[in-house]
Amino acid sequence: MDMFRPAVTAAIEMQASIGTEGFVNVEPTVTFMKRQHRWNSLHDVSSVTEHLRYRLPDKMP
């Protein structure tokens, strides 16, 4: 799911850090998005060798 990718959460955090209206108190949402991305990564079994190509420690067997 693209909405939980680190680039999206980083963009939201950046908007909050510069004080953009509508992006105050986004910490719980960003925390949820990071956890959801990690959960999706851990449970994605579409490639059993992905951890070798991309050096993803969470994907190691």
Mean pLDDT across 39-47: 80
The pTM for the full model equals 0.75
| Domain hosting residue 13, numbered range | 2-59
**The pLDDT value given to residue 61:** 65
The chain-wide mean pLDDT, for the chain, equals 86
Alpha-carbon distances of 13 from 6, 23, 51, 53, rounded to whole Å: 10, 8, 27, 28
Task: Indicate the burial class of 12 (C-beta count within 10 angstroms; 0-12, 13-18, 19 or more).
Answer: middle
Tally of domains within the chain: 1
